[in-house]
Amino acid sequence: MSTKVYTEDNQLADPVAERAPLVLGGLDFHDVTEMVVRPVEGKTQPMWVLAFLAALGLLGVYGLSVAWLVWEGTGVWGLNNPVAWGWAIVNFVFWVGIGHAGTLISAILFLFRQKWRTGINRAAEAMTLFAVACALSFPTIHVGRIWLLPWVFPIPNQMWAWPNFRSPLLWDVFAVSIYGTVSLLFWYTGLIPDLGTMRDRAKGKIARFAYGLFALGWRGSHRHWVNYEAAYLILAGLSTPLVLSVHTIVSFDFATSQLPGWHTTIFPPYFVAGAIFSGFAMVLTLMIPCRVIFQMKELITVRHIENMAKIILLTGSMVGYAYAMEFFIAWYSGNDYEVFAFVNRAFGQYAWAYWIMISCNVITPQLFWIKKFRTTPIIVFVLSIFVNIGMWFERFVITVTSLAADFLPSSWAYYSPTIFDLGCLIGSFGLFFTLFTLFVRFLPMVAIAEVKTVMPEADPHWHGYHDAHDEAAA
Amino acid sequence: MSRLKIANQKREWRSLDELAGQPDQEIAVLESPQGAKEWEQTEGLSRRGFMGAAGTTVAASAALLSGCIRKEAEFIVPLSERPEDRIPGTPLEYNTVASLGGTVLGLRVSSMDGRPTKVEGNPNHPNSNGAASVFAQASIMGLYDPDRTHVPHKGAEAATWADVDAWAKGAISGDGDGTAILLDDSNSPTVARLLGELLKKHSRLRVFRHDAVGGNARAGAALVGLTGHTQAFSLENAKVILSADADFLGTDGDVVRNNRGYARSRAVTETKADISRLYAVEPGFSNTGAMADNRLRLRGSAIGGFLAAVATKVFGALGSTPAGSKDVMVALKADASGNEAWVDAVAKDLVANQGKSAVLVGSGQPAWVHGLGMLMNAALGNTGKTVKLVASDVLPGLPGLDELVAVIKARGVKTLVMLGGNPALTAPAELDFKALMGSVATTVHLSDRLDETSRLATMHVPVSHYLESWGDHVASDGTMGIQQPLIAPLFGTISAPQLLGRLLGSELSGFQLVQETTKGLAGGTAFGTAWRRWLHEGVVYGPAEGVVPLAAGSVAPVAAPAAAIEDESAEGEPVEGDVDGGEAPAEEVAPVAVATWDFSKLAAAARAAGAAGSGLEISFQLDPRVYDGRFANVAWLQELPCPVSKLSWDNAALVSPATAGKLSIERGDLVDLTVDGRTVRAATFLVPGITDDVVVLTLGHGRGEVGGRFCGGGFNAWPAKGASWFAAVEVKKTGENHKLVTTQEHGRLDPKLNTPVGVYQPKRRPMVMETTATEYDAKPHFARHEPLFALKSMWEQPNVTGGHQWGMVIDLNNCTGCNACTVACNAENNVLVVGKDRVAKGREMHWLRLDRYFTGAEDNPEVVFQPIGCAQCETAPCEQVCPVGATSHSPEGLNDMAYNRCIGTRYCANNCPFKVRRFNYFNFANENHDANELLRMQMNPNVTVRFRGVIEKCTYCVQRISAAKVAAKRSTNDGIVTDGTITPACAQTCPAEAITFGDINDPNSMVSKKKASVRNYALLADLNIHPRTSFLAKIRNPNPELA
């Protein structure tokens, strides 16, 4: 074993001299495999059953809320005449934002050779997919006549009725569905070697068949690895612009309209920064408990947490800058409607929401300047939840305050949600956690093959081999 | 689909039959050999049945005669040849008249395949001039009111028509002693004639009139010796108008006529605003107050004193008082305290504009103030110029309800027949009329439902709606018109003349009774010809000395009735002649010389007048939606926002914020209002501009189930109201709360925000452009502002030129905020009612709304109104964002909605800067039809009824545009629609002529000319949306002396 000196947060005392290992605890390849497959191959834990049932219960709430919504009409929500978009759109943007972290970690960090990503990319990508699923559910249930939703797709028909390609909502349809598709492909491609591992280790017939089916005949041959890595690189390249484009296009829903407070050129970068901000917060919210529950502290180390906290600090500062810049531009534009929209956000009827947003999104991430906070998982966990709350409120503030008070004061109104708005929000968490609990039970939540590539043993010239060689020679 | 429809209709008719207690038709239907259920004609309700009744042309009056008689159920077969003029889906129009909320209006009603669907004004009738009021627009729903009774009732028990006939036969015996007849506020020569005949038979029969609203005006005329005279104003000739608590633009009297006159008196040229000046003195905040150039907040009890002070000044300045009015001068208790400047300024203005001024007194002011107002008009030489003084009352000088009560108390009455009205609700509380009704052995009430009076009466007789019965009405200016039915009575009900006919033992139908009355009016013309013309044009033209043949001496003093009617040339005109003949239908009588007036009673009344109260005072007012309660069961009106308070579905005790502060009450607090020991409970609502220390409570709400299924909201003010419309009141908080809903929470164009760094007070938004007459003269182009934040457009302006290009101009200088347009839109476009809870959520569906903004001082603000419907932007923000292209532009510049294509993303509503798009959050259509199973009959078949989950909005009445284009293509070579052919429902009904619609591609069209005006401006032009609806700026004309 190595005799290097590490600080407690897994950093080398002298980072220039040598890189710190990404996997701690002196694990070898086999230990990593065993550690990751334990939750999948082990007995069903009562805790997992409880968590799954709770998530399923919330999903049931979603089902009932949506059923009532479709049966009765959109009016079961709290929408009104000026505020025609409410929590459903807030939730949509919130979930799409969360869906940014996974692909960013997998693709962009992959391209940037950030090897620490391997510890968290599988779970983060899964989170992305589930968040995108939640996100997609909202525009679907949000329309007044859900049964006519296929009309948003350019399906040739005898009426020659095409969708309106000028509508940002249509761009949304394409942007989010492409993002979801590519993310799924990317995630699945990364899973294939591990599915092979699972198949090979499977004891039951069904498990062997299922894993085998999805492993697509993976044998780990040299040719497989070459094709796999090429495919993975291509998908990473494809995903990278999508990470930036999805939320840009989601922001167009607002930015291309002409409402004061929506009609803002800063929205695309501001939305992307916010999305990464919220996505990383959600990754932390999920991974910090997971590494404890599934005993993977050696794979998902404090260093991972700290890195993510740093990204939150960066993107959180960008979001804070955007908030300030919105105000400045509103004033600088000389447009009274814009100025009013922003002053009204901060001091009008929705000031409470605005200040929740500011506290959570601007103040909270600044605490990560303190190293102690970055490296204490429980603090990071708590702060990440604040960021999640803050980012939900950001979307609420944007969506609702601008609609509630626009040009003609005669039509201004106050929007408040109903129990069905709430049901859809917490219900979407049910959908998310149902999928996530199934994921941790049936799929390896850490990319086994990828983690191994960043272990010292992956290097053919690793001194451990030399030591053994030397011993043998001696 | 069509099968389903038929099945639904079938069910609807059947349920009506069951409601009506008719025998079940099911067996007959099952046994029908043809199985052609849909052609079966059930009692009074079959589509074809209506066609039989109403589809027949007026020329075939014989057919009308038989058509109105209800037929036995029978099977008919489709016509093998379509008769001329009967095109399914194409409406036919008929003229009629109706007495609607204190005024007689000439109406033109559309009949769609036999169903009356839409009411408009009759251009031939001087009281409507082609326009209609809120009440007239909503009256169609009175016909389809689901809570009308179908059969007579004895107490709560259903009775039969045989019972009524049996009673009528022996109702009045011998000389009629102990029998009294109580009339309502209607003014029908046929009723008068029949009463005369009854009196001939039964000399001791007593006739009374209870006019709960107009009683003070009648009494006022009597005080100056002009019993039976009414004032009909021609405000277009006025330069100075003084309203003493008269909401003549909203609810009080001839609002349609007065709106038109007032609007015309405000016409400005491109360079000069030489317009009338309106002074309003009022306790509440009415439409008239909102339009006033100078508005004085004054409690109701102080208005008499104020007017007396003005009168004293005026007479002083005139140098001579009208002969015989010296006593009045001495008796007047002038009280200008605190308002001396006002009195001086108003008097000066009035005197400077002799013959060009008008003094209007509100229904709520006591009789002597009305008398004084008439005296002032006469002294100022206004009679014959701005005021027509007409002996229009066909039954002048009838004793009132108080005298009936005195008679009942003194001698007892055995039989009381109440022809309409609702005295148990509207009688002054002191009279305790409800209790007295119990002491009368037989009380018979003719009304459309088991209302407050009918429930107490021993017999209730259901009355026909004006659209289903014959009648006649004389308007305040003496114009007489025939009330012509458009449909056989839905439920087999009878009219007031019919009931009187039964009392006379006559077998004549309503049609025959009315014809009988008018027999003498034809003069030299053959009666048949004259009659057809009267029906066709909606106005009775007769010999100059046309006298309604009322037996002399039959009813108290009968003055020369219904005004003079123009002599009509002997030649009968072809009935199908030009409707807009343009001849003056009625000529006013010669001005009554003031010298002949008798002022002794007025002096006595003025002497007896009380002083202005101090302390908290209540002011009862007519409700701008339900009048005195008679329209309370019309859901359209319940949902209609009040012009100034914007309250919907409720009335409330309106107080100024200062008063609320003093009483420490807030919006929605339930308070007990005690007047003379009578307490009513009401929720409070704060309205800036209400006179301090005054509580304004409108009448007619809160009638609960008695009024009908839509009457539950609000608070019934009648139980507290005595004879006086204002009184000292005690306000006690109950600690309870009531949810009041309003369609407009924000009333300022420059909303303030409190921030930690001070108050943020933005500039006033350039939504409603207004200026004063003086400033306009100096700078007429003031409204032509540069766009404040002119955005650069990245796109080329779409090419919307050529052919017809529709556009609209709304003249804010004319709009009085009367709401008629909103209700007209409801009726024309099948706009649905959503109910109070949904209005509270902000989900009302009105396509056209009236925005109200307060401007100026917080304690005494001015109000501006702005009608907002879809502006049909050329670069419409809504069109760009719809993902399925459900809303797109027509080549004629309309922003079209394809309801079928709409999936309901509501993005268009978000992006609409006017927020005029409305979303069907629930299946409002089903809800509406469930709430009122008769509603289907009113629906305009040319407008899609929108389904749940789709957006809807104003279309400029595209169905009317299409119909006109089809007609133009058939009748002209070029297919061009001539200007003025198309009038959207809002523009058609606007009594103030504020809305102009037409082709902006035609430089000679009225709308193009108006758009060329210096006052023309586009709302939110900064957004590059190029709206097709533009506005003409408002000009106020305040008196500089009162600045």
Confidence (pLDDT) at B556:
28
Please report residues of B whose CB lies closer than 8 A to that of A162.
Answer: 885
Q: Which of A81, A143, A166, A354 is the best mutation test for B, with the most CBs of B within 10 A?
A: A81
Are B506 and B651 found together in one domain? Answer: no
- Are B736 and B818 contained in the same domain? no
Cβ-defined contact of A152 to B883 (cutoff 8 Å): yes
From B877, B918, B923, residue closest to A73, measured CB to CB: B923
* Beta strands at B157-158 and B770-772: parallel, antiparallel or unpaired: unpaired
Query: How many domains does chain B contain in total?
Result: 5
Among B37, B69, B86, residue at a domain's last position: B86
pLDDT band at A320 (very low <50, low <70, confident <90, very high): very high
**Same domain for B236 and B180:** no
Q: What residues of chain A lie within 8 A of the CB of B842, using their CB?
A: 80-83, 413
Same domain, B531 and B653: no
C-alpha–C-alpha distance, residues B198 and B203, integer Å: 8
Are B838 and A75 in contact (CB < 8 Å)? yes
User: Does residue A103 contact residue A128 with C-beta atoms inside 8 Å?
Assistant: yes
Q: Are A434 and A57 in contact (CB under 8 A)?
A: no
Considering the domain architecture, whether residues B976 and B919 belong to the same structural domain is answered as yes
Q: What is the pLDDT of residue B679?
A: 94
What tens digit of pLDDT does each residue of A91-146 get?
A: 999 999 998 888 888 888 888 888 888 888 899 999 999 999 999 999 999 999 99
Interface touch B902/A144, C-beta < 8 Å? yes
B788: closest chain A residue by CA: A335
Q: Are both B662 and B599 inside the same structural domain?
A: no
- CB pair distance less than 8 Å for B903 and A145: yes
Q: Is B873 on the interface with A (CB under 8 A)?
A: no
Is B899's Cβ below 8 Å from some Cβ in A?
no
The pLDDT of residue B689:
92
> Is there a contact between A333 and B789 if contact means CB atoms under 8 Å apart?
yes
Cα separation, B1027 vs B1018, in Å, equals 7
Q: Give the residue from chain B lying closest to A258, CA to CA.
A: B911
CB pair distance less than 8 Å for B949 and A169: no
- Which chain B residue is nearest to residue A155, measuring alpha carbons? B884
In A, minimum Cα distance to B867 occurs at A410
Phi, psi angles (nearest 5°) of residue B797: -65, 125
Q: Do A144 and B880 touch (CB under 8 A)?
A: no
Q: CA torsion sign, A147 to A153 to A157 to A159?
A: positive
**Under an 8 A CB cutoff, do B751 and A173 touch?**
no
Q: Which of A163, A258, A333 sits opposite B884 (nearest CB)?
A: A163
CB contact under 8 A, B919 and A167: no
Which residues in chain B touch residue A414, judged by CB atoms under 8 angstroms apart?
Answer: 745
Contact list, B951 vs chain A (CB under 8 Å): 144
Residue B745: its chain A contacts at CB < 8 A? 412-414
Question: How far is the C-alpha of B938 from the C-alpha of B273, rounded, in Å?
Answer: 43
Interface contact B789-A336, CB threshold 8 A = yes
Tell me, yes or no, whether B946 lies in a domain. Answer: yes
Cβ–Cβ gap B843/A162 under 8 Å: no
Q: How far is A254 from chain B (nearest CA, A)?
A: 9
Length reported for chain A: 474
**Chain A residues in contact with B747 (beta carbon < 8 A):** 409-410
d(CA B373, CA B375): 5
* Domain boundary pick from B86, B118, B140: B86
Identify whether residues B354 and B485 lie together within a single domain: no
Could you give the CA distance from residue B776 to residue B781 in angstroms, rounded to a whole number? 8
Q: Do B853 and A167 touch (CB under 8 A)?
A: no
B752: in domain: no
Candidates B251, B229, B85; CA nearest to B640 is: B251
Across the A:B interface, residue pairs with CB atoms under 8 Å apart total 182
Average pLDDT rounded to a whole number, residues A77-101: 92
Contact B762 A339 (CB under 8 A): yes
Tokens (6 digits) for B686: 């704060």
Does residue B570 form part of some domain? yes
Q: Is residue B100 part of a domain?
A: no
Among B418, B332, B341, residue whose Cα is nearest residue B379: B332
Question: Does any domain span residue B359?
Answer: yes
**Token pair for B679:** 């307490």
Residue B400 shares a structural domain with residue B362? no
Q: State how far Cα B875 lies from the chain centre.
A: 37
Whichever domain contains B886, its CATH number is 3.30.70.20
B907 and B958 both lie in a single domain: yes
Please give, rounded to a whole number of angstroms, the shortest distance from the CA of B777 to a CA of chain A. 29
Q: How far is CA A106 from CA A81, A182, A227, in A?
A: 42, 12, 18
Any A CB within 8 A of B851 CB:
yes
Q: Is residue B789 part of a domain?
A: no
B792 found inside a domain: no
Of B788, B866, B949, the CB nearest to A144: B949
CA distance A421 to chain B (A): 14
Contact by Cβ (8 Å): A168, A256: yes
Per CB-CB distance under 8 Å, the chain A contacts of B843 are 75, 80-81
Q: Domain ends where: B709, B724, B742?
A: B742
Touching check for B744 and chain A: CB below 8 Å?
Answer: yes
Q: Are residues B383 and B403 in the same domain?
A: no
ipTM (interface predicted TM): 0.91
User: Cα-flanking dihedrals φ and ψ of residue B675, to 5°?
Assistant: -120, 115
Q: Cβ contacts (< 8 Å) between A74 and chain B: which residues?
A: 904, 906, 919, 921, 949
Rounded to an integer, what distance in angstroms lies between the CA atom of residue A274 and that of residue A100? 10
- Measuring CA to CA, which residue among B894, B885, B917, B1030 is closest to residue B965? B894
For B1021, the domain range is: 805-1036
> Which residues from A are below 8 Å from B911, CB to CB?
257-259
Contacts of A152 in chain B (CB under 8 A): 883-884, 903
The domain that holds B676 is classified in CATH as: 2.40.40.20
Q: Domain coordinates of chain A in residue numbers?
A: 29-153+162-262+278-302+419-469
* Cβ contact, residue pair B747, A74, below 8 Å: no
Among candidates A81, A173, A257 on the partner chain, residue whose Cβ is nearest the Cβ of B911: A257
What is the residue-wise DSSP string for B76-93?
A: ----SSPPTT--TT--EE
CATH number where B342 lies: 3.40.228
Nearest to A258 among B755, B884, B911 (CB): B911
Question: Which site among B759, B785, B903 would you substitute to test the A interface, given the most A Cβ atoms closer than 10 Å to its Cβ?
Answer: B903
Say whether A408 and B877 touch across the interface (CB within 8 A): no
Those of residues 141-170 in B touching chain A at CB distance below 8 A are: none
Task: Write down the pLDDT at residue B549.
Answer: 32
Count other Cβ atoms within 10 Å, centred on residue B158. Answer: 14
Interchain CB contact of B628 with A (< 8 Å)? no
| Residue B589 domain-assigned (yes or no) | no
Residues B400, B367 share a domain: no
Chain A nearest C-alpha distance from B501 (Å): 53
B440 phi/psi in degrees, rounded to 5? -95, 130
pLDDT averaged per 10 residues, chain B (length 1043): 37 39 38 36 42 39 43 64 76 90 90 89 90 93 92 90 89 85 90 89 89 90 87 92 94 92 92 92 94 93 92 84 76 85 93 93 93 90 87 87 90 89 92 90 92 92 94 88 91 92 88 87 80 87 42 28 32 33 38 68 84 88 92 93 92 93 93 93 94 94 87 90 92 92 87 87 88 90 69 72 90 93 94 92 93 89 94 92 92 92 94 94 91 89 92 94 91 86 94 94 92 91 89 93 84
Q: Indicate if B352 and B418 belong to the same structural domain.
A: no
pLDDT at B71: 53
Burial of B421-453, coded b for 16+ CB within 10 Å and e otherwise, reads bbbbbbbbbebebbebbeebebbbbbbbbbbbb
Q: Which of A72, A75, A151 sits opposite B843 (nearest CB)?
A: A75
Residue B792, chain A, CB below 8 Å: the answer is: no
Q: Which residue has the tokens 């993310």?
A: A183
Residue from B841, B888, B917, B950 whose CB has the most chain A CBs within 10 Å, to mutate: B841
Residue in A261, A402, A344, A259 with CA at minimum distance from that of residue B913: A259
Contact of B627 with B633, CB cutoff 8 Å:
no
